Amino acid sequence: MPGIFHRRLLLLLAVFVIVAGLLAAQLARLAIVEGEMHARQTETFLRRRTFLPFVRGRILDRNGTVLAEDRASWDVQVEYAMIAGRWSAEKARAQARRELGANAWAKLTRDQRSAEVDARLPSWNERAEAIYAEICVAGGIDRAELDRRFDEIRGRVAQRVEAYRERLRKAAEAKAIEQGTSVAEIPEDETISEQEEPHTILADVDDATAFRFQLLSEEERDTIVVMPATQRLRPWAEVELDVDRRSLPSPLQSDRPLHLRLSGVADHIIGATRTRVFTEDLKRRPFLDERSGEVADLGGYRADRDVIGATGVERTLEDRLRGVRGVVERNLETGEATRREPVAGEDVRLTIDIKLQSWVQAALEPKLGLAKIQQWQRGWDADGEAKPGPLPVGWELNGSVVVLDIATGDILALVTTPTLAEASGMSAERRRSEGADINKAVEGVYPPGSIVKPLLYAAAVTQGVLPADLAVDCKGHFFENVTTSARCWIWRPEQGRSSTHGTLAVEEAIARSCNIYFYTVASKLGLEDVVAWYRRFGVGEPFGVGLGMAKDRSDGGVRMEGESGGVAPDAEAMKAIRASGDRSAPIFLGIGQGPIAWTPLHAANAYATLARRGDLIRPGIILDRADRGVRAPSTSLGLDATAVRKALNGLSDSVRQTYGTGNHLTLESGVQEPLTDVPGVRVWAKTGTAQAPPLRIDSGKKESADVVVRTDHAWFVGLVGNEREGTPRYAIAVLLEFGGSGGKTAGPIAAEVIRALVREGYLEGSGRKGSP
């Protein structure tokens, strides 16, 4: 039996053994149980991955013209220490420390240290000057400019620092008040990230310059950083062209072409990219897995900065345009590297012909004079006096044009004004009132007005409720004893206009746009069938041409964002109309008024459908989409051939016969000028004047109230083809918001669109152009 002291020693030894045992148990757990997991983690630090940027796919027009492409470009950045002028001091200090050794350095007093630093400072100052000089030479700027840029950055950073310190002060004060203590001191040496980061001095430099700077940065560390800054180029965003003014309405005619500079050509279609990344992007396609921090998708989005399609095709075709990053994985221990090349994004071809698009935008350019209120639209009275109008002469109009290839459903041109570029300087309120942010061609909804007349006629004949050769007697009003509503537009006895159309066949009814004929058509079809035919022609559903994004609706349905389906009454609404006992409401739908609205694309597509005798082809803006040009006979409307022929004849008469609404403009002192007489071209067209909501005009003065103007939207929708062929090739829809009379405002623009088609070779005799 050992003595008591020895027993105590044994106790201590036992404690030591137990402690060592516990430690060993933990080590065994780490090494054996979790060993592999920890090894995996630590091994990751031996691999350094760098990601190689990919090139975003190009956007091309139907002829292969580049509309948007990435161009490699570089930003040259300078470390803030250089900008702030503390670089040489930092370098001198590091050098002194290195030369003296860390221990010796640690023993020096502050004064001794600054003496050591000062001794080495001049050579570093010289080095810095040499680098500044090289930046100036390589960047093509002079020293004063470099200093100015440095000053600018210093000023900006100083502001940030002040703002940050202000925030800290506020927070400290708030805390002091909350806790009832005194305000804590803000540490003086606290820095913000901008004080540690490099800043861009030369933006968007080419490869050769970037390479020079790269060499410079490798020669002297902590000076320069060359950052990839790929630019998205849109060579057609700005277009300059000369418009021949000899064929314009005579008040605008001139022998000298008008030089126009168009901005934002097709920018509603092509769209733009953004570099800000939203949570929904990260949710949809993250680059890094949120929890593990591992790479989840090499093509995914980075939280800090990425290039993402924001609008237009850039947005809707984001997944095709976007590429996949490459990876270089270097093993730091062995120096071995594996390289996976980046995959460029896919090129996308649009159905748009960018030249045609430009000409069409030129026609809609108010500077040309067509998209403006002109006196010829208001007319002159019998005494030759200029009639007043709701909007002043010279008032600029916004509008939209769609040109559709009938055989394929390709959208050749799709213009909306103002363009995004034109709207970029506008106030938010003005953007809203001008509808600048919506693509009016596919998102703007307007009542169709008279342009539906031939469609409903063909529908009624196909339905069998109307004989194709029906003649109707226009007495000025539809209902027997009612003279105040459901009248023909020509009949305004209270204004002294009491002439009527008399007895009309359908061709003349279309050409003259007689309301009474089409009230009759609508009344024969009945409310439900009129609405059903509208729907068959596409109202109520967006086409999905490639400009909209399907979004899940809260009620479980799908909503198309960026494209509109228009408006048609649903069963409920129709029941309400019936219940109201209003007899005129159903028949108004026959002339495109009432609870019905569509987009310019719907109008063009409906006319293309008519030209195809009812065959439905989904229009589209992406050239290589799978369903391009596919006819869907099973869903063909199977329009009656005779009815289609008669309707087309009516449309033809509308422009050919002098009584046709689309035939001519009447200018001052009664001079008539043909509207669409382009040599070699056959036109089938219909004008439309559709009720517009009240237009509120800011009087410009604070004291006076806004002026509210009642006027109409102007439509001109038609089909064009080669004169000799005699069949339509393209459908055109022109809409001028608040343009008033369709023929007089939208007509001349349609004529310019037709001339543009001719100019671009679309209406030559030898078959259709531009269908690859």
| Residue from 94, 108, 184, 258 binding another protein (CB under 8 A) | 108
Min separation Cβ 22 and another protein, Å: 8
Distance CA 343, CA 321 (A): 11
Is 171 near another protein (CB under 8 A)?
no
The verdict on 46 binding another protein (CB under 8 A) reads yes
Rounded distance, CA 380 to CA 377, Å?
Answer: 9
Among 1, 32, 382, 571, binds another protein (CB under 8 A): 32
Counting contacts by CB under 8 A, is residue 17 touching another protein?
Answer: yes
Q: For residues 44 and 332, what is the distance between their CA atoms, to the nearest angstrom?
A: 10
* 41 lies in the binding site for another protein (CB under 8 A): yes
Min separation Cβ 39 and another protein, Å? 4
Residue written as token pair 């630090």: 45
Q: DSSP of 492-504, one letter per residue?
A: BGGGTB----EEE
Residue selected from 1, 45, 428, 556 as contacting another protein according to rule CB under 8 A = 45
Q: Total number of residues binding another protein (CB under 8 A)? A: 40
Q: What share of the chain is helix, strand, coil (3-state, %, to 5)?
A: 40, 20, 40
Contact with another protein (CB under 8 A) among 110, 221, 246, 702: 110
Contact (Cβ atoms closer than 8 angstroms) between residue 730 and residue 757: yes
Structure-token match 């869907």, residue found = 632
Least CB distance to another protein at residue 3 (A): 4
575 binds another protein (CB under 8 A): no
Shorter beta-carbon distance to another protein: residue 47 or 169: 47
Q: How far is the CB of 291 from another protein (least distance, A)?
A: 10
Nearest distance from C-beta of residue 31 to another protein, angstroms: 4
**23 counts as binding another protein under rule CB under 8 A:** yes
Nearer to another protein, 18 or 471 (CB): 18
Q: What is the DSSP letter of 581?
A: T
Q: Which stretch binds another protein (CB under 8 A): 29-37, 93-101, 386-394, 675-683?
A: 29-37
Residue list 417-446, contact with another protein (CB under 8 A):
none
If binding is defined by CB under 8 A, does position 115 make contact with another protein? no
Q: Smaller CB distance to another protein: residue 26 or 424?
A: 26
Nearer to another protein, 43 or 218 (CB): 43
Q: How far is the CB of 44 from another protein (least distance, A)?
A: 9
Q: Report whether 682 contacts 611 (CB < 8 A).
A: no
- Sole binder of another protein in the list 162, 207, 290, 333 (CB under 8 A): 333
Footprint of another protein on residues 444-463 (CB under 8 A)? none
Name the residue with tokens 């630590």: 42
Residue type, 675: L
Distance from C-alpha of 596 to C-alpha of 387, rounded to nearest angstrom: 31
- Number of CB atoms found within 10 A of residue 333's CB: 10
Among 60, 64, 332, 454, binds another protein (CB under 8 A): 332
The H-assigned helical ranges of 69-139 are 80-84, 87-100, 102-107, 110-139
Nearest to 465 by CA among 535, 520, 538, 513: 520
Q: Are strands 74-79 and 326-331 parallel, antiparallel or unpaired?
A: unpaired
**Beta-carbon count within 10 A of 487 CB:** 22
Is there binding between residue 179 and another protein (CB under 8 A)? no
Output 330 or 367, the one with its CB closest to another protein: 330
Closest contact distance (angstroms) between CB of 113 and another protein is 10
Report the Cα 339 to chain-centroid distance in Å: 36
Whether 460 contacts 521, CB under 8 Å = yes
Helices 641-656 and 600-611 pack at an angle, to 10 degrees, of: 120
Exposed e or buried b per residue across 572-592, where buried means at least 16 C-beta atoms within 10 angstroms of its C-beta = eebeebeeeeeeebbbbbbbb
Candidate residues 49, 71, 86, 107; the one interacting with another protein per rule CB under 8 A = 107
Label the pairing between strands 348-349 and 59-60.
parallel
Residue among 16 and 659 whose Cβ is closer to another protein: 16
Q: In the complex, what is the shortest distance from the CB of residue 97 to another protein, in angstroms, rounded to a whole number?
A: 14
Residue nearer to another protein on the CB measure, 107 or 284: 107
- Sole window of 106-114, 265-273, 413-421, 428-436 interacting with another protein (rule: CB under 8 A): 106-114
Both structure tokens of 291: 């929890």
Q: Give how far Cα 591 sits from Cα of 434, 447, 594, Å.
A: 27, 10, 9
CB atoms within 10 A of CB 376: 23
> Looking at beta carbons only, is 304 or 703 nearer to another protein?
304
Minimum distance from residue 110 beta carbon to another protein (Å):
7
Q: Which residues lie near another protein (CB under 8 A)? A: 3-6, 8-9, 11-13, 16-17, 19-20, 22-24, 26-28, 30-32, 34-35, 37-39, 41-43, 45-46, 103, 106-110, 332-333
